[in-house]
Amino acid sequence: MSTIAKSAAIPTVKEPLLNRIAFPEFLRRGNLQLWLGVVIVGFIVLCAICAPLLTRYSPTDQDMTAVLLEPGSAGHVLGTDNLGRDVLSRLLYGARTDLSVTLIAAIIPFVAGSLIGALCGYFGKWFDVIVMRLADIVTAFPFYVLVIALVFAIGNGTKSIYIAISAVSWVAYARIVRGEAMVVRRKEFIDACVSSGLPTWMIILRHVLPNTLSQSVVYVMSDIVMNVNVIVTLSFFGLGIVPPTPDWGQMMSDGQQFILSGSSWLTLIPGLTVVLFSLGLSFLGDGLSNIIKARS
């Protein structure tokens, strides 16, 4: 009796989700991960956007009179590399390259995979069977092996990065959305849509897809982290982004030959930046998925 009375007396009142603009909610809920993610990623994105304001050197200009300057040298906060290029400039402009390539390489498979998944889940039958077997084939190969092989086959350049990553990562989105779409298709509101004469493509785009996306939106965030690493790895190996376009992976691989001669910052600085950025994105993704989970 007393335990019942006690639990009834202290109702666990959860703060209702008052508004759709989530910004003030983070603060009240103390979603620390999300905040850390926003701060870190926001800082890096802001630096990338404001790159020309933060440095007066071009990332590609060589200065043979100032080679391998250490960080903190006059005029070069993060030093210079073996060709006398300002490391800070290369880092900032490299962020521009890596960030935009990452983003595009995440959006293409997200859109394509979700669409394919929705079609599979909605239509089922032979279309579903063929696409899902294709997905099995793609998953059967290790991710990096397939991406590297594809970039190698297509040739260097950002375009081949987009193609390679899209060709591999659509599978995850297709699987996630397919499962959800199979559930949504059986809901009565889809019958209601059919009976009001909406064409099938419109039912899929306007009614099925939006009801299936929350999971794959969460997945996009972790996929972006993956993409950063893939792109940096590819350019580290000299695949993908073509020099002299500044990029973090290339900075690392250029710098590694000078580690033993004491110029380890050439590798460390871009390396730590990649770690920081990945960390920020992971926090952001976890924070976002917390919110989406809380809503559904």
What residue ranges bind another protein (CB under 8 A)? 187-189, 191-199, 202, 206-207, 210-211
- 151: part of which helix (H) or strand (E)? helix 143-154
Q: How far apart are alpha carbons 48 and 232 in whole angstroms?
A: 16
Between 199 and 243, CB nearer to another protein:
199
Closest approach, Cβ 126 to another protein, in A, equals 14
Between 197 and 262, CB nearer to another protein:
197
Between 115 and 268, CB nearer to another protein:
115
Residue whose C-alpha is closest to residue 131's, from 118, 141, 147, 143: 118
Between 145 and 194, CB nearer to another protein:
194
Between 16 and 30, CB nearer to another protein:
16
Would you say 154 and 163 are in contact if contact means Cβ atoms under 8 Å apart? Answer: yes
Q: How far apart are alpha carbons 95 and 90 in whole angstroms?
A: 8
Closest approach, Cβ 225 to another protein, in A, equals 27
Closest approach, Cβ 130 to another protein, in A, equals 19
Between 123 and 143, CB nearer to another protein:
123
Closest approach, Cβ 34 to another protein, in A, equals 22
Would you say 214 and 232 are in contact if contact means Cβ atoms under 8 Å apart? Answer: no
Token duo for residue 81: 């590399």
Would you say 232 and 274 are in contact if contact means Cβ atoms under 8 Å apart? Answer: yes
Residue 128 contacts by C-beta under 8 Å, 6 or more apart in sequence?
Answer: 120, 121, 178
Closest approach, Cβ 87 to another protein, in A, equals 48
Would you say 127 and 115 are in contact if contact means Cβ atoms under 8 Å apart? Answer: no
Closest approach, Cβ 108 to another protein, in A, equals 25
CA 122 to each of CA 136, 174, 186, 193, 216: distance values in angstroms, whole numbers, following the listed order: 19, 12, 9, 13, 17
Exposed (0-12), middle (13-18) or buried (19+): which is 9, by Cβ within 10 Å? exposed
Would you say 151 and 161 are in contact if contact means Cβ atoms under 8 Å apart? Answer: yes
In DSSP notation, 227-267 reads HHHHHHHHHHTT-SSPTTS--HHHHHHHHGGGTTTT-THHH
Closest approach, Cβ 192 to another protein, in A, equals 5
Between 136 and 191, CB nearer to another protein:
191
Between 149 and 192, CB nearer to another protein:
192
Closest approach, Cβ 190 to another protein, in A, equals 9
